A = this chain, B = another copy of it.
Amino acid sequence: MNRKADTATVSVGLGARAYDILIGPGLIVRAGAEIAARLPGTRAAVITDDNVASAHLPVLQESLGAVGIDSVTVQVRPGERSKSFETLQEAVDAILAARLERRDTIIALGGGVVGDLAGFVASIVRRGMNFVQVPTSLLAQVDSSVGGKTGINTAHGKNLVGAFHQPRLVLADTAALDTLPEREFRAGYAEVVKYGLINQPDFFAWLEQNWREVFSGGSARIEAIARSCRAKAETVERDERETGERALLNLGHTFGHALEAATGYDGARLVHGEGVAIGMALAHRFSARMNLASPDDAARVESHLRAVGLPTSPKDIAGDLPGADALLSYIAQDKKVSRGALTFILTRGIGQAFIAKDVPASEVHAFLKEFERP
């Protein structure tokens, strides 16, 4: 369903919490009108980070002002460290100081960090305000802005504190990606690949053919983003609160999160999507090692990830890494642990991921040992 010639719409069917994802160029310019049409009379708080603010905040503010939406802005430092209790509390205080009410709207303008933080703020201030996502990173457009997971990190690990809070609208401005650093675009692309690897082998094959066009922009980019959103939306529709198959979306994430933790969430060394790329490569290799899948599929996955410039092994990470023992203990603290047995997303081949419970920790440990540097 098209709203404008170059805008794709993906509808997320969640009953009373259903919403649209609009995908196309120029959506930040149209944001005020799109929001006012759905949430008449709202006031707003824009949560953003310094990088995104300098590139896109004035356009958004003008767009809100043009339709008479009063707004305040909360600007946080860029980077994973803003997903903290401290920043949460600062943002909450700013919104309460502005006397926003329940029917007012929190707008996340930024990548996944801003989206996760802002969504959590929207979920807890006055026990729940309206929330609109304006994702500006590829990762946020294809993944974090869809599905309603919000949250922050703690010293015990990533995303351990948060809420399910669905947005009322997602505006994925594909032109906003033009200011995104190349490395961040690539990292987000790892999540696009993920949807192919989970259950859409044809989409993976399409990406192998068309990834250059996705990177350079235009209709292939819109198509890749819309297909990714649809894939995620379908999974979320079937399992909003991750009691089952939604866990498939964690393909690559158990290893990935451990590596992010092991590098101290230092984006200079490893950003989220890069961790996911390595994690997906490892999940495929480990599945082959467990005789679940063919090693050829693992090789094909690695080869595509390397073609676009993504890392595929812990050895691709610059600097020291802790050994297998430490990585395993990060894995064990991860959310996807069930009664002490390790739960992983493994695969029977490209597009055939599944939830594997009771994966022996000893096998994982031996596997991780291979990547230790002497």
Contacts and interface: CB of A to CB of B under 8 A. Distances in A.
Interface of A: 41, 85, 89, 92-93, 96-97, 99, 101-102, 123-128, 149, 151, 154-157, 160-164, 241, 333, 335, 337-339
A156 B97 CA distance: 7
A92 B154 contact: yes
Contact of A125 (B102, B149, B160, B339): B160
A41 B149 CA distance: 27
A155 B155 CA distance: 26
Given A149-B127, A154-B93, A154-B96, A102 B161 contact: no
B154 A101 contact: no
A291 to B, nearest CB: 30
Contacts of A127: 149, 151, 162-164
Contact of A99 (B85, B92, B101, B333): B333
A241 B126 CA distance: 11
Contacts of A338: 101
**Secondary structure call for the A interface:** mixed
Contacts of A99: 333
A123 B163 contact: yes
B163 A96 contact: no
Given A93-B156, A97-B156, A161 B335 contact: no
28 contacts: A41-B339, A85-B85, A93-B154, A93-B155, A93-B156, A96-B154, A96-B156, A96-B157, A96-B160, A99-B333, A101-B338, A101-B339, A102-B335, A123-B163, A124-B124, A124-B151, A124-B162, A124-B163, A125-B160, A126-B160, A126-B335, A127-B149, A127-B151, A127-B163, A127-B164, A128-B163, A128-B241, A163-B163
Contacts of A333: 99
Contacts of A125: 160-161
Contacts of A124: 124, 151, 161-163
Nearest to A161: B124
A79 B9 CA distance: 50
Contacts of A93: 154-156
